[in-house]
Structure 1
Amino acid sequence: MIGYLAQNYPLIHAFQPPARRTRREAMATHRIFKMAPKLSDYFHEDEILAVKGTLDRPISGLVIDSRRVVPGTLFFALPGLRADGASFIDEAVSRGAVAIVTQKMPAFPPAKVTFIQVENARVALASVAQRFYKFPDREMTVVGVTGTNGKTTVTHLLKQLLNGDQPVGLLGTISYDLGARSVPSFRTTPEALDIYGMMAQMRDAGCRTAVMEVSSHGIDQQRVRGLQFGAAVFTNLTRDHLDYHKTLESYFDVKTRLFTGGSGSVPKVSVVNLDDAYGEKLAARLGVEVPTTRVVTFGEDPRAQVRAENVSLQFKRTTFRLVWPGGTLEVDSPLIGRYNVSNLLAAIATAWGLGRDPFVFLSRLRAFKGVAGRMERIEEGQPFNVLVDYAHTDDALRNALGMLRQITPGRLLVVYGCGGNRDRTKRPLMTRAVQEFADFAIATADNPRTEAISQIFDDMRGGITAPEKITWIDDRRRAISLALDMAKPGDCLLIAGKGHESFQELADTVFPFDDRQVARELIGNKALKVSS
């Protein structure tokens, strides 16, 4: 177990080198070892290519980071994009690992450690973690949400709609809600070890439902391998992560594994956006190839089972008539924009697909406060609108700005940037989307990481269509400040790209930076300057 997941401390203590122990302490240690789980409890014969050492060896926990190895743990040497876990086997052994799972058996493994060779270490990790934590996913209804955009909003909506007498767990981009406590997120879709460990905490805290964001990386890297999904949701698919997937079709193929059994199980219910071209393609494929899943479609498309009619988009609210096979209802939501109609429909269709009554669960929508960093309003008494949003693809920017264009009486201003060490091909497309809708844009740093901001700007400039409507400012705080200076009554400023993030990555340093906090501070300072 890693991070904040507690280790089995009594068992770890038993693995410590023997000092002077009383007879009573020695007997207690013997009992602990006798009851301890053994390697043989967690591996099936057909999963093992070769073994050096005994499988009749007690273990105290599972670890994927050699720095977190403690005496008695089983270390998984995972292959990675930046580093190979096999390089850290010696460190893991020196720290007290009693067994190693690897895809390549060392020529001369230490005799005191058991080595288990497997075909795919990530698949083995998922299977072993699921068994180690006693299949928590089988004691809860797990809902996985995948797609380029909307995952965070849909999972938060589902948590709100499904939260009745029992708490609902959540794993996502912003935080991990484990039922009894909530902790900051460190990855949209964590490693399988973390997923099963956190779901075990949810189960023990009384959760009977868990919702989670499922990224394409998480699917491709086997992080959700074997998870039993009560429902899987497809929001949409647009250009993103092509630095990893290379092509849009490859990106889509990875997403489909969540629905077709390519991740080890087929969801009982597949909820698919019929307004999206790839969603329509997925729904048709599932209907032919995967008869064991029930397909529920949503959208404004008249063919959708759960659909929106008479949509009214306003600046502070959205209304529409909800239609489903069991009836109709008028929906009034504080979420703005047509894409949020889609997000609402996704959550509603999923809850309905799981057998919940819309007349009951939609009453909980009134208490929904929105999602941090998703079209979040900054209200500090300024005479213009300021919104912070996570939009960081050309499609997300086009949707956000297109919506704001329709409801903004004045000018539409935008501050945006492109992340470093990520897909370079989307950078000019993001600029083109901004220039299509914004009256003026300030291009600035997002998370440059180790890439030169000059290179990022050069790529972004490839999408310029109106050079007089854009300027370039390296410093993000200064960019936001200048945009606020430009804004006049009736205008709208969108600060896009980072949303809920409270940090900025520059070179090898991560430092505090929250668009929402920066905007509030700057508005307050400017108001003080004016009043003085």
Structure 2
Amino acid sequence: MKKLNQLLPIDSDLAIESIYSDSRKVRPNSIFFCLDGLSVNGHQFIEEAIYKGAVCIVHSKDVSVKNKDIVYYQVKDTLKCLNEVACKFYDDPSQQLNMIGVTGTNGKTIVSMLIYQIAKKIMPFGYIGTHHVLFNKETCECEFTTPEIIFLQEHLRKMVNAGIQGACLEVSSHGLALGRVAGVDFDMAVFTNLSPEHLDFHGSMENYIKAKLKLFEGLRSDAVAIVNRDDEEMFNRISTLTKAHVLSFGIHHEADIQAIKIVLKLKETSFEVLYDGYTYPVKTTLIGQFNIYHILAAILALLQIGFTIEQAIEAIEEVDNIEGRLEYVETGHKFHAFVDNGHSPQHYEQVLSYASKVVGEGRIIAVFGSVGKREFKKRQVLGEIADHYCDHIILTEEDPRDEDTEEICEQIKKGIKKTKNVVITDRETAIYQAVEIANPNDIILILGKGEEQTMYKRRGQVPYIGDKQALLNAIEEVYGGEEDYEL
């Protein structure tokens, strides 16, 4: 609890028990912030907030009718004010944590989870990112990759109170553009890679890049920026604008840490790490060349928080594949299967290119779709990439929202010129079909959803069993528990 005059320059010692920007959540003795969102004007909900117990209203637009028992405080920028007040209300928790932010088009979750899983071996550590908040034995779901301001500050405070010393936060371009992390004091920021994505939200590639750069613009001079050296444009831009000390990782360019002598296999990857003039062998179940970048980034981050290079590599080698991230699924049969939740064209290129290198004499069967109500231009591109690498394509639903799944699939098909393809709108049925047609040595790639347990449809978010479980169910149904040699 705080006094109002501790949070805002107001001559009032009202007791404030909570702060909100969502009128539906308001409780007694709270401050309500009238945020203007993408589709909602928070000023429309002032009366509802007061009815539910708000005693102070922070607003940017004029309020024509005011309640004499309520404190009104007008500002130019409600979002900026919310960030400042949230930090004060929760006693600036990020300043008491070793905060690591990870951004980039792909790889945020893998890099963040690698850092989290390994760092907690030597210190109490937390994670906030896609769908979850994790620390100690606590698990909490969050709605966005980078949660909104109040949720974020509240859970950082919970970490501090629980004795957590450091935390890794996935930082999305939406989170940066919407100011969700403006009140977070980062000690380290990691940039993974960049490719066109979310342009329906950002409007242009340059706006998307500028959103990513915000994370590095805000770093202190004693902070560290860890940057992909092989993404030359972003490396140069980040190095130019940030005050932080820049460290680099890469494969094709000389960097502070570099991977050489790479060998890609179906179930493992091996390479050598070149660091500080010495080489160190690495063998990991994280597969695909793109995961080598993620490993290098994680190692650099771990070195900054106290690990030796030997300790970091040993810990990396012990980490199992991250659920839903090009995850190899044991089928019990002579074909191979992977589930992966990546959905950008760049990621499809990486995953399918990897599959083409390890498939041998088998075929590549891909099951995927494209999300509804966004990024329409990428649909044909996904079709073109799949057409280049695949032998059979099954198009299906992937969070269609209120768009027609068949129409989305038809737009993907515009990029498919030579590969056999079929549209099966129900995702579980599509996965069943992939299993049914798979021959020995084939690779099934189920793309776009991964471990996600929900599907966004016309009526909103509905339960979904997840691609891995759908795959296992299909194998059980097709083979009835029998091994290939028994058939």
Q: TM-score normalized by structure 1? A: 0.87
The one-character-per-residue Cα deviations of 1:230-250 (angstroms, maximum 9, x if unpaired) are: 110110011110110121121
CA distance in 1 between counterparts of 2:170 and 2:272 reads 27
Contact 1:384 1:489 in 2 (8 A): yes
Contact 2:406 2:423 in 1 (8 A): no
Aligned-partner SS, 1:78: coil
How many angstroms does 1:368 deviate by? Answer: 0.9
Match in the other structure for 2:52: 95
Does residue 70 (structure 1) correspond to residue 22 (structure 2)? The answer is: no
CA distance in 2 between counterparts of 1:488 and 1:192 reads 50
Match in the other structure for 2:240: 288
How many angstroms does 1:354 deviate by? Answer: 4.2
Match in the other structure for 1:110: 67
Contact 1:283 1:295 in 2 (8 A): no
Contact 2:18 2:31 in 1 (8 A): yes
Q: What is the identity, as a one-letter code, of the residue corresponding to 1:459?
A: Q
Pick aligned residue for 2:417 from 460, 465, 473: 465
Pick aligned residue for 1:428 from 358, 380, 397: 380
Match in the other structure for 1:42: 7
Does residue 200 (structure 1) correspond to residue 157 (structure 2)? The answer is: yes
CA distance in 2 between counterparts of 1:500 and 1:76 reads 35
Does residue 401 (structure 1) correspond to residue 352 (structure 2)? The answer is: yes
Pick aligned residue for 2:230 from 266, 270, 275: 275
* Stretch deviating more after TM superposition (356-365 or 223-232): 356-365
The alpha-carbon distance between structure 1 residues 289 and 165, as it changes in their structure 2 partners (threshold 3 A), is closer
Q: What is the identity, as a one-letter code, of the residue corresponding to 2:182?
A: R
CA distance in 1 between counterparts of 2:253 and 2:376 reads 37
Does residue 219 (structure 1) correspond to residue 176 (structure 2)? The answer is: yes
How many angstroms does 1:68 deviate by? Answer: 1.5
How many angstroms does 1:465 deviate by? Answer: 2.2
How many angstroms does 1:135 deviate by? Answer: 1.1
Aligned-partner SS, 2:282: strand
* Stretch deviating more after TM superposition (510-519 or 451-460): 451-460
Equivalent residues in 2 for 1:12-411, closer than 5 Å: 36-43=1-8, 45=9, 55-261=12-218, 268-276=223-231, 280-290=232-242, 292-325=243-276, 327-409=278-360, 410-411=362-363
Aligned-partner SS, 1:98: strand
Does residue 507 (structure 1) correspond to residue 458 (structure 2)? The answer is: yes
Question: What is the count of residue pairs matched by the alignment?
Answer: 482
Let me know the Cα RMSD of the aligned residues: 1.8
CA distance in 2 between counterparts of 1:355 and 1:503 reads 38
Aligned-partner SS, 1:500: coil
Q: What is the identity, as a one-letter code, of the residue corresponding to 1:421?
A: K
Q: What is the identity, as a one-letter code, of the residue corresponding to 2:341?
A: Y
Does residue 486 (structure 1) correspond to residue 437 (structure 2)? The answer is: yes
CA distance in 1 between counterparts of 2:461 and 2:351 reads 28
How many angstroms does 1:161 deviate by? Answer: 2.8
Contact 1:144 1:232 in 2 (8 A): yes
CA distance in 1 between counterparts of 2:447 and 2:377 reads 18
Contact 1:307 1:322 in 2 (8 A): yes
Contact 1:240 1:393 in 2 (8 A): yes
CA distance in 1 between counterparts of 2:132 and 2:320 reads 16
The one-character-per-residue Cα deviations of 1:252-293 (angstroms, maximum 9, x if unpaired) are: 1110111012xx8677100100112xxx22332343343x31
The one-character-per-residue Cα deviations of 1:193-240 (angstroms, maximum 9, x if unpaired) are: 111111111111221110010000000000000311111011001111
Aligned-partner SS, 2:215: helix
Name the % identity: 33
Aligned-partner SS, 1:309: strand
Unaligned runs of 5+ in 2: none
Does residue 440 (structure 1) correspond to residue 392 (structure 2)? The answer is: yes
Q: What is the identity, as a one-letter code, of the residue corresponding to 1:42?
A: L
How many angstroms does 1:355 deviate by? Answer: 4.9
Contact 1:72 1:97 in 2 (8 A): yes
CA distance in 1 between counterparts of 2:157 and 2:222 reads 20
Q: What is the identity, as a one-letter code, of the residue corresponding to 2:302?
A: A
Q: What is the identity, as a one-letter code, of the residue corresponding to 1:463?
A: G
CA distance in 2 between counterparts of 1:94 and 1:267 reads 47
How many angstroms does 1:529 deviate by? Answer: 8.1
CA distance in 1 between counterparts of 2:125 and 2:152 reads 15
CA distance in 1 between counterparts of 2:347 and 2:156 reads 31
The one-character-per-residue Cα deviations of 1:86-112 (angstroms, maximum 9, x if unpaired) are: 111111100111011122131121111
Contact 2:230 2:253 in 1 (8 A): no
The alpha-carbon distance between structure 1 residues 312 and 176, as it changes in their structure 2 partners (threshold 3 A), is same
The alpha-carbon distance between structure 1 residues 117 and 248, as it changes in their structure 2 partners (threshold 3 A), is same
CA distance in 1 between counterparts of 2:241 and 2:446 reads 43
How many angstroms does 1:307 deviate by? Answer: 0.6
CA distance in 2 between counterparts of 1:425 and 1:355 reads 44
CA distance in 2 between counterparts of 1:137 and 1:346 reads 22
